[in-house]
Chain A
Amino acid sequence: MDPELLIEDYLLDRLPADERKAFEAQLAANPALADEVEIAQAMLVDEYLADTLDDERRRAFDARLDKDPLLREELELDRAIRFNLQHREAYRNFREGLREMAEQEDVEALPVREPENPSVKPGPKTSWRWAAGLAAGLTLLLTAWYFYRQAYSPERSALSQFKAPVNQIIQNTDITYMGDASDKERDLARFERLFKQKRFADAQPILAPYVEADSSGQLRLYAGICRLYLGTLDNAVQDFTRVRQGNAYVCEATLLLAIAYAEQKNWPQAADMAAAVSPKCNTAIREAAGKLAETARRESSRR
């Protein structure tokens, strides 16, 4: 019998009792075989947790788990550990985003309209209107001031000069999906349109389901650009870092990573990354990287 099939039958509890016993005796005596079984079990568990087992093997594995509830419990615990490791960074970013939302609300001093207390008599109508008008005016002023500070602080505008190559990347976006999944094709075409219009908040969710499966790094690069513009910088840094680990889009990802670090005011990292742009990259990227490296070095020493 094919040893691989034998191992799988053993793991899926499909061997008759006597064959199972004989196989376990072999396992105890042969460490190499024990390793092979452990690898096969690891693969089975990976596929089970990723829900990629075919129906027949899934049923067999489920039947085994029914017989061995301890193994099921352990797998649940493993799934939990994987889940938390997998999402640790994203969860941190989420909480950070929540904190910023709360702070932003404080900065903008947005009044929360409480439900009216019936025990309190309303004052004269004209005075209420006057107060509401004043509050609305103040809110508008504070909001405008906040957005002005966010978008046009001197440090931010210093970076505007590096937008040119980013704009070039955006405008050159060309997602040619050659598969026959029309939904995906439609989604990516829609993404490309919104992305070129710089409607990043609308574009990003359309792209999200396809990023993981794209091994070229192209979609992750675009996802990172969306995040860069939307201000979720930790995620953008993560995206560009991963794109850089691949073979394609390394020039773009390196420059964008440097820009993301600069946006985070992480000037030393921005300088290092800008300096890491290869001489083989195109002129626009090299020039932007050169300027950025200079700015970042200046900011680093100033601070």
Chain B
Amino acid sequence: MPDHPIRQPVDCSNESEWRALRTNNFPVIQACLYGRFRQRIRTRFSQEEQGWFDDVFQESLCRVWGSVMMTQRPEQIQIEPYLYRTVKNRMIDIGRKRKDPGAPNSADPDPVLATNEVPPESDWTEILFLLWDEIEANLIQQLTDDEWRILDAVICLGLRYEAITERKIFVNEKGEPLKPEYLRLKTHRALKKLRGLVIMHYLDACEACMADAVCQALLKACYGRRKEPEQKTGEEQDSARILACLLKLKKCVLQLINRKKT
């Protein structure tokens, strides 16, 4: 069906590339980033590095896509310099690992996460973005149908609570549509459960790294199924300890990402 989509010269400005990535405008992505820019930067790598250049480029472009989606305006990110730095860091890492399998990665603890171009709010967002595909199915499976339906409607499809009520997508036992405020509550409770599931998942996956029985017990008590986060004691000291454990878990997840990359 496409009638030769690109007949006009393609605009490869930062703004155009930003918009193209945000809207999955493949003709522009292909012409500007995958075509022109990739060809331009690949000449900066040695013959030997060409062997893994394409894989690294694709992986880096996926990361840049995530970062672009985290921004609100094109000027918040310089796509080509950021993409180049991401590719370069990964190429250096891989080259180093090939020469010396025991070598640590270039930057601490993840070259991409440590670059200045990553927006400040990207902490957990960027970490989960790198891992979401492999955990999503498992997480969703643990939600009830009702919980997943509300998250799907509100967050995935972007429906407003009022629209969900109007369309009677959720009804009570009497067949009456649920009110918007109750739908909001349902969404937040489902999200909270998902938050707990994410934490529990990585508590298991990072068992060796989280070799701290106190932290394990504290996070399980706080976010595990046995207890709702709201029911935590509220004591400042407890809160500080839970936070410390959560930050430790975050570091462990970063290590997990690094291990997977190598």
Contacts and interface: CB of A to CB of B under 8 A. Distances in A.
B172 interface: no
A78 B184 contact: no
Nearest to A71: B239
Given A74-B229, A151-B4, A201 B19 contact: no
Given A91-B65, A102-B54, A235 B24 contact: yes
Contacts of B58: 98, 102
B121 A79 contact: yes
Interface residues of B, number: 73
Given A38-B188, A82-B191, A73 B24 contact: no
Contact of A156 (B1, B34, B187): B1
Interface string B190-210: 011011001100000000000
A208 interface: yes
A84 interface: yes
A161 B7 CA distance: 23
A77 to B, nearest CB: 5
Q: Give the bracket for the number of chain A residues in contact with chain B.
A: 35 or more
Contacts of B16: 205
Interface stretch (A11-19, A127-135, A226-234): A226-234
Given A81-B128, A115-B43, A204 B61 contact: no
A80 B182 CA distance: 23
Nearest to A83: B125
Name, among B23, B132, B194, the residue most crowded by chain A CB atoms within 10 Å (CB to CB).
Answer: B23
A77 B10 contact: no
A122 B19 CA distance: 43
B24 A101 contact: no
A58 to B, nearest CB: 15
Contact of B243 (A69, A87, A97, A229): A69
A88 interface: yes
Interface stretch (A39-47, A178-186, A274-282, A291-299): A39-47
Nearest to B26: A97
Interface string A179-212: 0000000000000000000111110110010001
Contacts of B20: 205
A205 B124 contact: no
Given A70-B242, A84-B132, 18 more contacts: A35-B185, A41-B188, A79-B121, A81-B198, A83-B125, A84-B128, A87-B66, A90-B24, A94-B24, A98-B62, A102-B54, A112-B39, A151-B2, A205-B23, A212-B158, A230-B5, A231-B1, A232-B24
12 contacts: A39-B182, A84-B129, A90-B69, A93-B24, A102-B54, A159-B1, A163-B1, A201-B10, A205-B25, A212-B158, A229-B2, A245-B159
Interface of B: 1-8, 10-11, 16, 19-30, 34, 39, 42-43, 47, 50, 54, 58, 61-62, 65-66, 69-70, 121, 123-125, 127-129, 132-133, 136, 151, 155-159, 167, 181-182, 184-185, 187-188, 191-192, 194-195, 198-199, 229, 239-240, 242-243, 246-247
Q: Which 6 A-B pairs have the closest CB atoms?
A: A205-B19, A80-B124, A42-B188, A80-B125, A70-B243, A84-B132
